[in-house]
Structure 1
Amino acid sequence: MVEKNLDELKLSKHHLKAMFVSGMGFFTDAYDLFIIGVALSLIAPVWGLTRSEIALLGSSSLLAALFGSIFFGRFADNFGRKKIYGLEALIMTIGALMSAFSPNFLFLLFSRFILGLGIGGDYPVSAVIMSEYSNRADRGKLVGLVFSMQALGLIIGPLVALSLLLLHIPLDFVWRLMLGLGSIPSIMVIYLRRKLPESPRYLSEIVCDKKAALTAFVNFIGNGDKTYESPHLNSRIRYKLKDFFSNKQHVLTLFGTAGSWFLLDWAYYGNTISTPIVMNAICDSSSLELKMIYSLLIFVVFALPGYILSIIFMDIIGRKYIQLIGFSIMSLSFLLLGLIPDIVNNVTGFLILYGLSYLFTEFGPNTTTFVLPSELFPTEYRATGHGLSAGIGKLGAFFGVLLFPITESFFGLNITFVIVSIICLMGIITTSVLTEPKGKSLEDCSYSKIIGK
């Protein structure tokens, strides 16, 4: 049985190769997440952008990611993971290059939307492929490593921005380089993604072709180079979306995964893309370069260790409990940032509390909200469930990015942080309905038996 072989397979270079190929898309996502905030600080005065236009440019790719994740997730369940793996990376490449050559606001807005479609599509397909290739003991670690490629993007982003600014080249060229460089990691993996075999679990459970599943498994572990094409690919079992929503367990799980992701992304993306606004509040007189250094320190000192801790403890503590701890400390950190008088005037104190929120975002829901949907839905709805969760999450990100600068403008940074604290507190409720998949096979933790499998 190919599923059992996958579950019991020891961690190997083949898992790590799949992790790298899957993870480079998330490097692009994180790089773009940070770099657009810096780019907008350079574009806005030149193009004379209003605050609303800045908010739209910052959030448009997130709205597009909503549609991309849902569409690509559903497509991957209906037609196979391999059919579209690499296509979403190509779309990200096109979107990044279009952004770099944008002549005006509307073109850049459209380019960001294209980029967002690719980013959104990358979430369910990469997560599900890695989850379905993983062994039972290391699945949380491996899927977490895919997502943790974000850490590199969060560090490389400020380094690129800082380096370009220090070179004193024309600012109009600087922001175009910043946005265009985001195409490089996605270009790197298009070919590699197309060469990955189809998920053996998908071939076994959805296409119902054990021979094709075994061939894909053998190719994955490097003991074969066959390209057996299943004669049953066009006669796979079709599972309707209405059946997904008529299953109470699936709906409850979706409430937990999508609800948690929505709340996390509202807090996280709104906060991160608006980092230049936050830096302006605590060190308004400082140069743009110094503000970049502060941002880089937060990511290196706090966010990066959070990713590392998440990977180490994912298969020890469990995803659900890491998520509960993360939401709790995030909420406390933002509450203190909002309530401590004159905290913005104490740069050191502010950066420690602000950094603490990042530490437990990464060693918390930012990583686990990506991992859990790839495990808690059965194979026939795994990419659909992940795509819906990611899409609803990106809807939260859209609202966060759109409303953070508006809220800060009307109510100030302290009240904005109190609102973010409440949002994080709500994440504890949505997380509590989820089951813990640690140490279980995908078939056991995804309630496959409920639908008669």
Structure 2
Amino acid sequence: MGGMSAIIDNAPYTSFHRRLALACSGGPLLDGYILSVVGVALIGMTPELGLSTAEVSLIGAAALIGMFVGGALFGMLTDKIGREVMYTADLLVIAACSVGSFWVTDVWAIVALRFVLGMAIAADYPIATSLLAEWLPVKDRGRLLGKQIIAWYAGAVLAFGVGYLFLRIGGTGSWRWMLASSAVLCLFFLVVRRGSPESPLWLAQHGRDREAVELVRRHLGREVTAEELRGSPAEGGERLDAGSVRALFSPAYRRRTMFCGLFFLCQVAPLFAMLTFGPAILGSFGMPGGTVMETLGTGLISLVFLLGCYPALRAIDRHGRRPTIIWSFALMIVPLAFLGLWPTAPAVLALFALCAYAFLCGGPNVLDWTYPNELFPTSIRATAVGFATSVSRIGAAVGTYLLPLALSGVGIGPTMLMAAGLTAVGLLVSVRWAEETRGVGLDQSAVAATAPAVPAPTERQPAVPRAARSVGRA
């Protein structure tokens, strides 16, 4: 039996876990805030800088392109040099770029700053979620990893609230303050992250045995050996080079790699476009224009995205990861198809349909970082999270760039039908490849796809002999 299941998987949930979960939520919250506040800032930025439709699209997509580069690069580095090393540096970069946004005078400066912002945000995902996953008890893992996406939507809702206040107080000329305001959030999370520990699993795999054992003793009050934390190849899968991209595409893991990247892409491409250009979408359905109603409508949709995550969190622990993601994708198609087939729907009905889509997105949302953290071993876990993030941001960047062009070119109806089609692809990918990891220890859920995954043994229940174990698949 791997020591990781016996010690960390079954450790009691304590204030240490709560503080670590809060610290790790900084990246997702900042992501939601930064990617959403620009949609409000564009209301004033566009006329002041004389932006064209193509330039508006480029600004909307710049951070997402940066996330594509940053996710792929920093995921590998996180597995090679550790989760803690970049844990503070990325927030400092985000703060500096946020402040720098206040002084921009041309479109290319904004694009460059938002590209760097995207890289720094993407760096935080593999750092924070892999660190959190490697400290969490199995019974709390799905819930707390899923709550990281709730932080994303909390950031989006906060962005629209702050944007609305700036518009009311300072008018459209306050867009510079909106872009700079994310620096305040960076300072808050820099304080919260002080003293956050490295992953003992990563330390043990890299020969830093004394540190790994001491961290478990200090934060969990348990005794464990480094050999137990490392596990054995038979239990934790084959030994892989840290940060190996090649391992992601080996016969054992490529199906999981494709699944995590594709379902993530199919979910966030419509989502990011909707949040970035929510006011423009609602305006296409006749929502009163200007600076207030469309912003409040998009803020409401963001709030419903957040609320939809709570029943999904219960569903992944009660019914399992696989049925939750399949049914969510299936139901998400309905409101998008409704809007596509009725492009002249009244604004109130359009807002209701978009809210329904937002609520139903909860299933894939809470599994965005749960699945890649559970399906890959410690040596390539952050690499997998970074790769899935990068792939998803390809779709998000393309969707964000094309959405305003599609609205002006083919209209709202075909645009919504294209979003419904992409969501249908996510459904097919989930039906074909989604696995069940509920109640499975982190070391066993990460066993290569050719080997069985088993429920995590508890302290009261001995491990089941391997010959009797069954694949953790719905």
TM-score after normalising by structure 1: 0.91
- Pick from 104, 109, 112: which aligns with 1:110? 112
Within 5 Å, give how 1:427-438 maps onto structure 2: 427-432=426-431, 433-438=433-438
Aligned counterparts, 1:219-258, within 5 A: 219-221=218-220, 238-239=241-242, 241=244, 243-245=246-248, 247-258=250-261
Q: Which runs of 5+ in 2 are unaligned?
A: 224-238, 452-474
Alignment of 1:198 with 2:201, yes or no, is no
The one-letter code matched in structure 2 to 1:219 is R
How far has the Cα of 1:92 moved from its partner?
1.4
Alignment-mate amino acid for residue 312 of structure 1: R
Structure-2 separation of matches of 1:51 and 1:291? 18
Q: Tell me how far apart the structure 1 counterparts of residues 55 and 214 of structure 2 sit (CA, whole Å).
A: 52
The yes-or-no answer on 1:384 pairing with 2:383 is: yes
Contact 1:253/1:376 (CA < 8 Å) preserved in 2? Answer: yes
Contact map agreement 1:257 1:430 (CA 8 A) in 2: no
Measured in 2, the distance between the counterparts of 1:171 and 1:333 equals 32
Q: CA deviation at 1:220?
A: 2.8
Contact 1:92–1:118 (Cα < 8 Å) also in 2: yes
Using the TM superposition, give the Cα deviation of residue 270 of structure 1 relative to its aligned residue in structure 2, in angstroms.
1.4
**Structure-2 change in CA distance of 1:371 and 1:2 (3 Å):** closer
Residue pair 1:89, 1:118 contacting (<8 A) in 2 also: yes
**Alignment-derived partner of residue 215 in structure 1:** 214
Considering fraction of residues, name the structure with more helix: 1
Question: Displacement of 1:118 after TM fit?
Answer: 0.8
CA distance in 2, matches of 1:192, 1:341: 46
Q: Does 1:359 find its partner at 2:359?
A: yes
Structure 1 residues 114 and 415, CA, compared in 2 at 3 Å: closer, same or farther? same
Instruction: Give 1:191 shift.
Output: 4.6
Alpha-carbon shift at residue 280 of structure 1 (Å): 1.4
**What is the SS of the residue equivalent to 1:422?**
helix
Which of 265, 287, 290 is residue 287 of structure 1 equivalent to?
Answer: 290
Q: Which amino acid aligns with 1:290?
A: M
CA distance in 1, matches of 2:339, 2:172: 33
Match of 1:30? 32
The corresponding residue for 2:172 is 171
Q: Which segment drifts farther, 188-197 or 145-154?
A: 188-197
Aligned in 2, Cα 1:341/1:183: closer, same or farther, shift over 3 Å?
A: closer
- Distance in 1 (CA, whole Å) between partners of 2:401 and 2:69 is 17
Deviations 1:92-143 (A, max 9, x none): 1122111222121111111111111111111111111111111111100011
Question: 1 CA distance for matches of 2:41 and 2:274?
Answer: 16
Structure 2 residue aligned with 1:69: 71
For the structure 1 residues 445 and 282, does the alpha-carbon distance in structure 2 shift closer, same or farther, using more than 3 Å as the test?
A: same
By how many angstroms is 1:209 displaced?
4.3
Aligned-CA RMSD value: 2.3
With structure 2 as the length reference, what TM-score do the two structures score?
0.87
Contact 1:320 1:368 in 2 (8 A): no
Aligned to 2:180: 180
1:122 corresponding residue in structure 2: 124
Task: Give CA deviations for 1:50-92 in whole Å, capped at 9, x if unaligned.
Answer: 1000000000010000111111110111111112112222221
Q: Match of 2:460?
A: none
Aligned equivalent of 1:316: 318
SS of corresponding position for 1:195 = coil
1:268 aligned partner:
271
Match of 2:46 among 44, 49, 55: 44
Find the residue that maps to 1:187 and give its secondary structure.
helix
Counterpart code for 2:273: G
